[in-house]
Homo-oligomer: A and B are copies of this chain.
Amino acid sequence: MHHPAELQPERSRLIRKLQSVADLSPDEQRAVFSLPMVVKTMAADQDIIRVGDRPSDCCLVVEGFVCRYDLMSEGKRQILSFHISGDIPDLQSLFLEVMDHSLCTLTPCKLAFVPHDSLRALLRAHPGLAAAFWRDTLIEAAVSREWMVGLGHRAADQRAAHLLCEMLVRLKAVGEAREHAYELPLTQAELGDALGLSIAHVNRTLQDLRAGGLIELRRGTLAILDWDGLKRLAEFDPTYLHLRDKAVAA
């Protein structure tokens, strides 16, 4: 039986992502191709799962931007991570019954839902895949730590610059970015919720980056004009993303 990639866009996104993180054997790739999944499209700003839910599926992002977030009293929102094509942001629900944060779409999205049972069977049958997924959750944890460093100790412009660097490298790793440009369909309010900054200050910060000739950001498209300058400002070192292909980090 054949599973040509062009007929299996969901599964091939997942494989492309896993390949950026670990080395999959042909056998393992085939196993991923036979994972059952239900594809669903969602509008922007819709919750996928909420705090307290006990999901029985995992959600694979096929197209669009998704984020984890947590709400606090007084309506403040902290965005905990951004997720792109190939990510499974709630993989943790395989092992932690109840969600300790929510998941929502930031743009219109194509999502694919995989039953926990099928995933568990896959991991049991293919230890190499289990290792790859585990590795991926560890990388996500590393990204969280890097964000902590930013929130704790970096100034606003460094923090923003670091996020822009990170997204470029991650998007390139799954082939969703050009050399020094990519689609970043986020509002300044969303950036602020991720960076721990007010809307007003995000605005001023982005203008500083523009004024410094580092970036251009209009209508959801980011162009990095001075990659070295941006990296230097952010003190960006992609090691923490633990990507397999070192070329990507150039």
Query: Residues of A with Cβ closer than 8 Å to B?
Result: 68, 70, 72-73, 76, 78, 80, 92, 95-96, 98, 100-101, 124, 127, 130-131, 134-135, 137-142, 144-149, 151-154, 195-196, 235, 239-240, 242
Ranked nearest first, the 5 interchain pairs of A and B with the lowest CB-CB distance are: A152-B196, A151-B151, A100-B240, A141-B141, A144-B144
> A139 near B96 (CB under 8 angstroms)?
yes
Q: State how many angstroms separate the Cβ of A244 from the closest Cβ of chain B.
A: 11
B134–A95 touching, CB < 8 Å:
yes
Instruction: Collect the chain B residues with CB atoms within 8 Å of residue A73's CB.
Output: 235
A154 touches which one: B68, B72, B100 (CB < 8 A)? B72
Closest residue of chain B to A93 (Cβ to Cβ) is B138
List of B residues within 8 angstroms of A144 by Cβ: 141, 144-145, 148
Q: Which residues of B contact A151 (CB under 8 A)?
A: 148, 151-152, 196
- Least CB distance from A197 to B in Å reads 9
Residues of B contacting A80 with CB < 8 Å? 145, 148-149
Determine if A149 and B92 form an interchain contact, defined as CB atoms under 8 angstroms apart.
Answer: no
In the bound complex, CA of A100 to CA of B147 (Å)? 13
Partner of A152 from the list B78, B127, B130, B138 (CB cut-off 8 Å) is B78
A153 CA to B76 CA, complexed, in Å: 7
> Are the C-beta atoms of A138 and B196 separated by less than 8 Å?
no
User: Across the two chains, which residue of chain B brings its CB closest to A81?
Assistant: B145
B145–A239 CB distance below 8 A: no
Cα–Cα, bound, A146→B148 (Å): 10
| Contact between B145 and A68, CB atoms less than 8 A apart | yes
On whether the beta carbons of B239 and A100 are closer than 8 Å, the reply is yes
On whether the beta carbons of B76 and A145 are closer than 8 Å, the reply is no
**B152–A98 CB distance below 8 A:** no
